[in-house]
Amino acid sequence: MAKEETSTSSAPRPQGGPGRQMGVVQKPKNFWGTTRRLFGYMRSRLVGIIVVLILAIGSQLFQIQTPKILGQATTEIFKGVMKGTAQQKAGIQVSNYPIDFDKIQHIILIVMLMYIVSAVFSFLQQFIMTRISQRTVYDLRKALKMKMETVPVTYYDTHSNGDIMSRAINDMDNIASTLQQSLTQMVTSAVMFIGTLWMMFTISWQLSLIALVTIPLSLVVVGVVAPQSQKFFAGQQRRLGY
């Protein structure tokens, strides 16, 4: 009996599922097909997604415009100081610089209102997108539960518990976080990039060209850092699967 117990305990147990063995990270076999299936689960929430995108674009547009409007206050201060300096040079007694503080106050109120509206839009789009993503993941987990009830018993014999739990919990959480952040972030980043370029060129195209020179340098840094971060992320996924 002792020999039998020893031989049984020393037998290797299957570890990991497809794509998780030997530490090999496989690329997606059908990325766009999987993406279409994922958006199929979100089809019933299309109106909410459109509202989220509109709110995200509106939030970014308000953020882009506020610095330019706030610059008008600086311009008013500069004009008042220059006018007062000119009057002093002309021999006119000036007790206070002729700065239009009422106009500056009006500009600041507009900027504050725009920031508040931008923050409200951002909160609403995050709130709605969180509900959409969580309900989508809920539907995915229900579909996974139904699938797990129909697979043969041999599947559970050839896959570790950690791998199955990782797919049901960790992978679903990754999908939820991707839907919450990446979808809106892709839109807001594009709007922010285009809007910032437009604002920069309307203020000073010379300085804008100088700033654009730094973009290739940042791409080089990203090209060096991104592959390393992917390796660490892949290692984390492998450890969670066991």
Three-state SS sequence of the chain: CHHHHHHHHHCCCCCCCCCCHHHCCCCCCCHHHHHHHHHHHCHHHHHHHHHHHHHHHHHHHHHHHHHHHHHHHHHHHHHHHHHHHHHHHCCCCCCCCCCCHHHHHHHHHHHHHHHHHHHHHHHHHHHHHHHHHHHHHHHHHHHHHHHHCCCCHHHHHHCCHHHHHHHHHHHHHHHHHHHHHHHHHHHHHHHHHHHHHHHHHHHCHHHHHHHHHHHHHHHHHHHHHHHHHHHHHHHHHHHHCC
What dotted CATH number matches 40-203? 1.20.1560.10
- pLDDT per position as a tens digit, 121-146: 999 998 998 888 888 888 888 888 88
Does pLDDT of 167 surpass 90?
no
pLDDT over 90 at 218, yes or no: no
Q: Quote the pLDDT of residue 8.
A: 40
Give the pLDDT band (50/70/90) at residue 31: low
Task: For residue range 172-212, list pLDDT tens digits in order.
Answer: 888 888 777 777 788 888 888 888 888 888 888 888 888 88
Output the pLDDT for position 27.
Answer: 61
Check residue 192 and give its pLDDT.
Answer: 86
Task: Tell me: pLDDT of 48 over 50.
Answer: yes
User: pLDDT digits over 94-127, tens only?
Assistant: 788 888 889 999 999 999 999 999 999 999 998 9
Q: Is the full-model pTM beyond 0.85? A: no
pLDDT at 15: 43
What residue segments make up the domains of the chain, in order of their start?
Answer: 40-203, 205-242
Confidence of residue 228 (pLDDT cuts 50, 70, 90): confident
Q: What is the pLDDT of residue 209?
A: 84
